[in-house]
Amino acid sequence: MSRKIKKEIRINENGGKVFNALITPNLIKEWWGASQAIVVPDEDGVFALSWGENPDKADYIAAAKISEFKPHVKLTLSDYTYLADNEYLPFKAKFKVKFRIYCETKYCVLKLEHSGFPNKSEADQFYSDCESGWEENLESLKNLVEQENVPVYS
């Protein structure tokens, strides 16, 4: 059995702009605070981020396969590799992150589900950090999309 994080946020913009912010490396770096971002935006593509001042020895690395890619609607990341200070997590996990965009006339709702956290005490802190991190990062994504001139994904 595993745990999951579910969040949603209302963004007063169209889904094409929200989707673009999810897959464009320079935009990801802004809202997620990553130092480096590489995205091959396609099904079976790559989604890789790193954090830290030294690109040769990143503080954190998260790399995943894009397992679902439907522009303006959904993005799913799976088969994660995660390192902190060049060390793997101290527990086994099969993370999957799903982004879903539901649009109305003047706004969208972005729903996030991050699953695969084991119910083990050694995963508790990481789970808690991810939960608060998603809260902050989704708010940052909302602010970026609503306040900057983010182009529509095409």
Average predicted confidence (pLDDT) for the chain: 95
User: What does the alpha-carbon distance between residue 101 and residue 112 come to, in Å, rounded to a whole number?
Assistant: 9
Nearest of 123, 108, 129 to residue 21 by alpha carbon: 108
**Is the predicted pLDDT of residue 154 greater than 70, yes or no?**
yes
Q: How much is the pLDDT for 14? A: 92
Q: Are 133 and 7 spatial neighbours (Cβ–Cβ below 8 Å)?
A: no
Q: Can you say whether residue 73 is alpha, beta or left, with left for phi > 0 and alpha for psi between -120 and 50 degrees?
A: alpha
| pLDDT 10s digits, 49-88 | 999 998 888 999 999 999 999 999 999 999 999 999 989 9
Rounded to two decimals, the pTM is 0.95
Banded model confidence at residue 8, pLDDT cuts 50, 70, 90: very high
Banded model confidence at residue 94, pLDDT cuts 50, 70, 90: very high
